[in-house]
Amino acid sequence: MSEVQYVKTVCRSCHGGCGVIAHVKAGKVVKVEGDPDSPISHGSLCTRGLAITQLAYHPNRILHPMKKTGGGWERISWDEALDTVAEKFREVRDRHGAESIMIGQGTGRDFESHFSRFGNMLGTPNMITAGHMCYLSRIAATLTTCGRHPAIDYANNPKCMIMWGCNPLWTNPDEYKGVSFWRAYEKGAKLIVIDPRKGFLAKRADVWLQLRPGTDAALALGFHHVIIEEELYDKDFVSNFVHGWEEFKDRVRNDYPLDRVSEITWVDPEQIREAARMYATTKPAGIHWGVPTEQTINCIDFTRTAVGLMAVTGNLDAPGGNVFHQPPGTRSIAEFSSHRSLSNEQRAKMLGGDRYRLATRMTIVTPKCAWDAILNEDPYPVKAGWLIGTNPVVSRANAREVYDALKKLDFLAVSDFFLTPTAELADIFFPAGTWLEQNHVADNWKFHGYVLARRKVVEIGECWQDHKIFMELGKRLGQRWWDTVEDALDWLLEPTGLTWEQFKEKGCLKGESKFYKYKEKGFSTPTRKVELLSTIIERWGADPLPKYTEIPESPVSQPELAKKYPYILNAGLRTPTFFHSANRQLPWLREIRPDPIVELHPETAGKHGISDRDWVSIESPRGRARLRAKLNNGIDPMVVVAEHGWWYPEIEAPDHGWDVSNINMLTDNSHESMDPLMGATNLRVLLCNISRYEDR
């Protein structure tokens, strides 16, 4: 009987970073548990991480490369799969130019550096990520405003925390793990929760602000109004380290008095005043915001305004506030990505580059621009694609358009674990390895100051980790790569003096903690100050001051449309089980959440004859979806809150029910609805109607 071996590694079942101890017996992982020595997660592990064995050894997981034939999918070798993709890409590049090839990823599996390097060396400027509406949008906005992304410093005991459209206990997003927030909360920190829905955190908050979905920027400007009016700002900091203060003050005073902010947001003026005072006077204080603030037309303006709150209250780069964590000295994503290998001529061809200037700075393409190029050949045709770890047929707005676009491509390759609805449209399928099957310097792209050793625990079937797929396909296209994945990691780690073999034994590296760095060298902006009036945005001819823009599809902006679609749909409700469109095959997680949920106020449900657990049809001007009702009196009767990411692996291929309960059948991706600088998709706020679902 073989003995159990214990291997320390790092999870990536959701946003990643949590320490794991994998129990391995006879070459198979039989169990995982949280690593109590992890500086990130301190021994905690969420449901998604705990269920990794069900994913890795799922009977429907694809364990070998495949190609699409007239008779269906056929198993092939890695050589044939890679050679086929390389040949197709060369044909398109030679005939139409490299810009006619797009590559895309979702919420990545820690392969961002390799993804960008492959695209840059291929010569395509058209790389799609989730970043236009998630995370990279906040990086773009914070770089523009204060030079770096400020993360809340839970380790140094904030006395007040604003949880703005986020529940880290369920999502464990990027820089953060829920356990860090909870430790600070249990030490007695005051909690302000800003959320249209009364969830777990709102029930425990000192102040809960139930705003109208999508009006976060107006609420943040209302906070500023109180802080300015009552002179609660740090006068020394503002005088020395804020650019555009007088202009910003004038806008806030003139355009965002509390009565107007209250009218926009549906939040009582005295509640706004109470929350603003609490944040400004309780030191130190931090703001933790989530993607709902980024998935509207106000994406960049909200983030810039929120950074302004941190700055003017003296909570920026202050222990316990929002800080700039120092990286631990590895080579950066930018260095690894070989950005200079993409010529200026090719960069100028980036789809939407002249329209979405901040997305261009982040070297990503707003997906709508790619769908337009595929379907309409505007401004030029896109003929081929490779999608890695993403399921855009389910996870992107206006799903029908996405489906039609991908179906029209001359050639599509997909890397994933399963045949998702998106993968079913592909010509070649690459079987990707899970995080149990990879060596990598994890979290190297995050702003929390750590890098972590993700050690390969097992090999399963013929699956390759994504990094190896990028490298081997790249070599066939004449790109410069290292011989092995581990050689590349040695180069990434070289400035630290460690090899991969040494680092994986060490487990992690942490950058030095330093605060108030701006006192010595200012901020990394053109003025060396926090730019509430952005010199970069001003140079582009856009409004350099933050503002609130009414949501393009709301009862306010479209009262006539609201007569037919009277409810505000807030799409994207998170669960502790699924990660966007992933995990619906896994028995443990599907048992917890067997059906897609839409939350309705009991009064609203009653108007339509809907009872708890009934199937509900939700309809917008673009489409409809079927979800199961859950009654919740903690939302406004005018608001409908729905989960995203739903498809049904158990439904027969090739459709897998992708259009049955997919809330992105309803969402809008029109250019008019997007953030004008980033192209952030308006996923969170649109108009809908509901009815009790009857089988047709």
Q: Do 617 and 681 sit in the same domain of this protein?
A: yes
Q: Do 73 and 99 sit in the same domain of this protein?
A: yes
Q: Do 182 and 310 sit in the same domain of this protein?
A: yes
Position of tokens 């108009």?
Answer: 687
Residue 390 lies in a domain: yes
Strands 242-243 and 530-531: parallel
Q: With a cut of 80, say whether residue 2 has pLDDT above it.
A: no
CATH of the domain at 204: 3.40.228.10
Residue 98 lies in a domain: yes
Residue 624 lies in a domain: yes
Q: Do 161 and 128 sit in the same domain of this protein?
A: no
The angle, 0 to 180 degrees and rounded to 10, between the axes of the packed helices 367-376 and 399-408 is 50
Domain boundary among 321, 344, 363: 321
Q: Do 108 and 163 sit in the same domain of this protein?
A: no
Which structural domain range is residue 437 located in?
66-135+335-510
Q: How far is CA 491 from CA 64, 334, 485, 673, in A?
A: 30, 14, 10, 43
Sorted by sequence, the CB contacts under 8 Å of residue 235 that are 6+ apart come out as: none
Task: Give the rounded percent of residues in the chain with a pLDDT score beyond 90.
Answer: 96
| DSSP H helical ranges for 168-325 | 168-171, 178-186, 216-229, 235-241, 245-255, 258-265, 269-281, 299-312
Residue 143 lies in a domain: no
Q: What is the mean pLDDT of the chain?
A: 96
CATH of the domain at 129: 3.40.50.740
Q: What local confidence, expressed as pLDDT, does residue 695 receive?
A: 63
Global pTM reads 0.96
Contact criterion met (CB below 8 Å) for 559 and 175: no
Q: What local confidence, expressed as pLDDT, does residue 172 receive?
A: 86
Domain boundary among 483, 510, 537: 510
Q: Do 175 and 250 sit in the same domain of this protein?
A: yes
What total number of domains does the chain contain? 3
Q: Do 357 and 500 sit in the same domain of this protein?
A: yes
Q: Do 282 and 341 sit in the same domain of this protein?
A: no
Rounded-to-integer distance, Cα 136 and Cα 129, Å: 9
The predicted-structure confidence for 383-419, as pLDDT tens digits, reads as follows 999 999 999 999 999 999 999 999 999 999 999 999 9
The predicted-structure confidence for 299-323, as pLDDT tens digits, reads as follows 999 999 999 999 999 999 999 999 9
Q: Do 587 and 669 sit in the same domain of this protein?
A: yes
Rounded-to-integer distance, Cα 639 and Cα 629, Å: 13
Residue 678 lies in a domain: yes
Task: Give the rounded percent of residues in the chain with a pLDDT score beyond 70.
Answer: 100
Q: Do 504 and 615 sit in the same domain of this protein?
A: no
Contact criterion met (CB below 8 Å) for 565 and 378: no
Residue 53 lies in a domain: no
Most confident of 243-252, 326-335, 570-579: 243-252
Q: Do 115 and 159 sit in the same domain of this protein?
A: no
Residue 532 lies in a domain: no
Q: What local confidence, expressed as pLDDT, does residue 696 receive?
A: 47
Q: Do 207 and 268 sit in the same domain of this protein?
A: yes
